[in-house]
């Protein structure tokens, strides 16, 4: 009798834990994510950083805007590259294009040009601790160091969230700025990104209805699935030194599942449940969404990606918007955007922005 009672108590405990592990419904997760990342707004203070350049029928402008006042009192400024047709008449749709880990806004200039040639203003920013925001460091060095410092921040104390989240905030503020830009039709703004930029795309755009079309490329996945199925290595290796620092602090001989769970839970809170892609991706239903992945991608394991894709398909079907969802999972392709995916993604976004 006592044994049965103990078993019942254990089962009840496990059931309670399982329930607690269930993510919030997408709409509530949206509210929670907006709250997690919220911070006092500052005037955008848009500044031209270089004289506009015109060539080949396109106009290239570089400017910055203020996105927040940091804890130390400094103003965080976001560098922007914008490419538009020189013969622009009236306000045009705009497409934000985001680079991957270790890259910068100039790496996606050809994408911006492709959009501009089709009458869509192309816009790119440097992610946090990348490009002109790296302090002179090369590649992802400053980014990885910032994530390491966020990990080492005392528990319970405010700290930065350079691993995706702070750039997501910058993207929301960028859209605020674009809403007042005389060249942009604020009702027709899209967002796409590659790898890290793809993750930032589904994080930022899923909860911001001002984005009417989104294209996360080689970024759709399930962080939870990767962690629970020992497929975390690809993602962890994109910021390897930060994970190694966490392993050392946790007394682990090498990076493992525990290290990833502890690090991710601190620097990207909610990414294993409420803010994981299979949950947030449902929020796109009714808007246009283009997904491209490779089935051999170690950074975005296809099994986890398929969970997110299935969630999107279910939500779009329920919304009666199957025509607004395109999914491409390429056989034999690793962590790269194919030429065909690039072509199709741009065409899809232009279609839904025009």
Radius of gyration of the chain measured on its C-alpha atoms: 21
* % of the chain at pLDDT higher than 70: 94
* Spans in the chain with pLDDT lower than 50: 1-20
- Whole-number pLDDT of residue 89: 83
**pTM of the prediction?**
0.93
Question: Comparing C-alpha atoms, which of 83, 78, 79 is closest to residue 53?
Answer: 83
The owner of tokens 């190694």 is: 244
* pLDDT at res. 4: 31
Neighbours of 144 (CB within 10 A): 24
The residue among 71, 68, 14, 17 whose CA lies nearest residue 44 is 68
pLDDT for 156 equals: 84
Contact 129, 143 (CB under 8 A): yes
CA distance 291 to 215: 6
Strands 325-330 and 288-294, how do they pair? Answer: parallel
Residue 286 backbone class (left: φ over 0; alpha: ψ -120 to 50; beta: rest) = left
- Show the tokens assigned to 307: 């969970």
In CATH, what number does 27-353 get?
A: 3.40.50.1820
**Tell me, what's the pLDDT at 157?**
86
CA dihedral 62, 335, 263, 158 (to 10 degrees): 20
Pair 325, 351: CB distance under 8 Å: no
pLDDT tens digits for 33-85?
999 999 999 999 999 999 999 999 999 999 999 999 998 899 999 999 999 99
Closest by Cα among 181, 180, 178, 182 to 191: 178
Express each pLDDT in 13-27 by its tens digit. Answer: 333 333 346 999 999
CA distance 265 to 292: 27
Task: Supply the pLDDT for residue 20.
Answer: 46
Give the pLDDT confidence score for residue 128 in this predicted structure. 98
Report in angstroms the alpha-carbon separations of 52 from 55, 61, 239, 281: 10, 5, 35, 37
Tell me if 72 sits within 8 A of 159, measured CB to CB.
no
E strand map for 39-120: 47-55, 58-69, 75-85, 92-98
């Amino acid at each position: 009798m006592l044994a049965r009672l103990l078993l019942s108590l254990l089962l009840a405990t496990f059931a309670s834990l399982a329930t607690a592990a269930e993510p919030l419904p997408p709409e509530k997760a949206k509210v929670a994510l907006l709250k997690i990342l919220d911070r006092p707004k500052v005037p955008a203070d848009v500044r031209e950083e270089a004289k506009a350049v015109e060539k080949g029928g396109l106009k290239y402008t570089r400017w910055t805007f203020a996105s927040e006042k940091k804890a130390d009192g400094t103003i965080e400024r976001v560098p922007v590259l914008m490419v538009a047709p020189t013969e622009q008449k009236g306000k045009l749709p705009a497409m934000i294009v985001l680079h991957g880990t270790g890259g910068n806004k100039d790496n996606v200039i050809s994408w911006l040009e492709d959009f501009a040639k089709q009458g869509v203003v192309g816009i790119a920013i440097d992610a946090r601790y990348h490009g002109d925001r790296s302090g002179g460091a090369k590649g992802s060095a400053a980014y990885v160091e910032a994530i390491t410092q966020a990990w080492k921040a005392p528990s319970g104390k405010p700290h930065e969230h350079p691993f995706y989240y702070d750039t997501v905030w910058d993207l929301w503020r960028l859209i605020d700025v674009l809403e007042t830009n005389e060249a942009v039709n604020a009702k027709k703004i899209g967002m796409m990104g590659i790898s890290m930029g793809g993750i930032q795309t589904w994080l930022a755009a899923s909860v911001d209805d001002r984005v009417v079309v989104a294209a996360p490329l080689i970024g759709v996945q399930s962080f939870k699935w990767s962690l629970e199925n020992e497929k975390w290595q690809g993602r962890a290796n994109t910021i390897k030194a930060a994970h190694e620092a966490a392993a050392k602090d946790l007394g682990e001989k090498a990076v493992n599942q525990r290290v990833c769970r502890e690090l991710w839970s601190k620097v990207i809170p909610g990414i294993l449940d409420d803010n994981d892609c299979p949950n947030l991706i449902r929020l796109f239903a009714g808007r246009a969404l283009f997904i491209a992945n490779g089935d051999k991608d170690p950074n975005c394991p296809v099994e986890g990606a398929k969970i997110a894709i299935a969630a999107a398909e279910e939500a779009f079907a329920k919304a009666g918007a199957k025509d607004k969802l395109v999914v491409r999972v390429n056989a034999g392709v690793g962590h790269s955007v194919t030429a065909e995916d690039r072509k199709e993604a741009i065409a899809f976004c232009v279609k839904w922005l025009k």
